[in-house]
Amino acid sequence: MSIHAYLVFQTVVATGSFTKAAQQLSLSQPAVSHSVRSLEKELGVQLLRRGGAVKLTEIGEELMPHVHALVATQARIQQIADELHELKRGSIRLGSFPSLTAGILPNLLRVFRERHPGITVSIQDDGYAEIERGLSLGEYDLAFLPYESRKFDSRLCFEDRYVAIAALDFPDPAQGRMTLQQLDGCSLILPMDGCEQVLLPLFEKSGVSPHIEYELKHALSIIGMVAQGIGLSIVPEGTANLVSSVKSLPLEPPIFRQLYAATRKGDELSPAVRTFLRYIASR
């Protein structure tokens, strides 16, 4: 029996009349009578005493609180569904990696939260393998990766430019830009958070052989070494912009990495996740 039948029954009891219930529900009086009789037949009990004013039987009296609760629960479920559809509320579990979380995500999330204050976004940043594992296990609704993975549905969302960073007393190169050839033989702090997958093939292709002093994973460690003049490094621009202890030098030609938003293949995305994907695609 559908929830609607219980709503009709509740309305008949509340109005004390089949006719008034029909008017309130925008139904015909025979349709209301048929609905109540079908409910009684389904339950195998008589709920109403007919003839004169509509009154509940003893069984009807016993069942009425449960009918109220059932109808109220259905109304609440519908309200929640409508709120989710209209994006008044929702949640997104996001997987990210440190350089993206520090550099690009803060501004993206600030604007998104202003537009959709009812949607909560939780973030966990980790290494790429851990992000892929978490997404595969359903721990994330969406994850960012700096490469396209065939294991997931991946969408190119934006590009992130690399810059060279140097100690503040490092001489500015000609035209204020650093070429890869100028890195040949220079001491370099190589970032190992995935940047090496972009940089090492470029060095080889360009015939450049910098002297790699250290291979470090964490941005603050890299910046600390560079600030002390131990070597140069190449990091995402968003990371370099977070600190004033090093100088940022644009690269010539520019070097970019592509950033992808990944979801599990075949997953039905929630309205909140679909809205977030549309938002980042429009940036």
User: Using an 8 Å Cβ cutoff, are 235 and 217 in contact?
Assistant: no
Element (H, E) at 229: none
Structure confidence at residue 219 (pLDDT)? 86
151 and 199 share one domain? no
Q: Is the dihedral of CA 92, 113, 155, 143 positive or negative?
A: negative
Planar angle of CA 235, 199, 209, nearest 5 degrees? 115
168 and 251 share one domain? yes
213 and 196 share one domain? yes
In order along its 283 residues, the chain shows pLDDT tens digits of: 688 899 999 998 988 888 888 898 889 999 999 999 998 999 999 999 887 778 899 998 999 999 999 988 888 888 777 666 767 788 999 999 888 898 889 999 999 999 899 899 999 988 888 999 999 999 999 999 988 999 999 999 988 899 999 999 999 887 789 998 998 989 999 998 777 878 888 899 889 999 999 999 888 899 999 999 999 999 999 889 889 999 999 999 899 888 999 999 988 888 899 899 989 988 7
Instruction: Locate 59 and state its tokens.
Output: 């069984």
55 and 190 share one domain? no
How many residues does this entry show for the chain?
A: 283
264 and 145 share one domain? yes
Residue ending a domain, choose from 85, 100, 133:
85
State the pTM of this model.
0.67
Residue ending a domain, choose from 85, 117, 133:
85
CATH number of the domain within which 133 lies: 3.40.190.10
21 and 53 share one domain? yes
Residue ending a domain, choose from 25, 60, 85:
85
153 and 263 share one domain? yes
Q: How many domains does the chain have?
A: 3
**Residues in Cβ contact with 124 at an 8 Å cutoff, skipping those fewer than 6 apart:** 93, 94, 95, 96, 134, 139, 140
User: Using an 8 Å Cβ cutoff, are 87 and 118 in contact?
Assistant: yes
164 and 252 share one domain? yes
CATH number of the domain within which 10 lies: 1.10.10.10
169 and 250 share one domain? yes
Domain extent for 194: 160-256
Ramachandran bin of 44, using left for φ above 0, alpha for ψ from -120 to 50, beta for the remaining angles: left
Structure confidence at residue 223 (pLDDT)? 94
73 and 122 share one domain? no
145 and 266 share one domain? yes
73 and 213 share one domain? no
CATH number of the domain within which 244 lies: 3.40.190.290
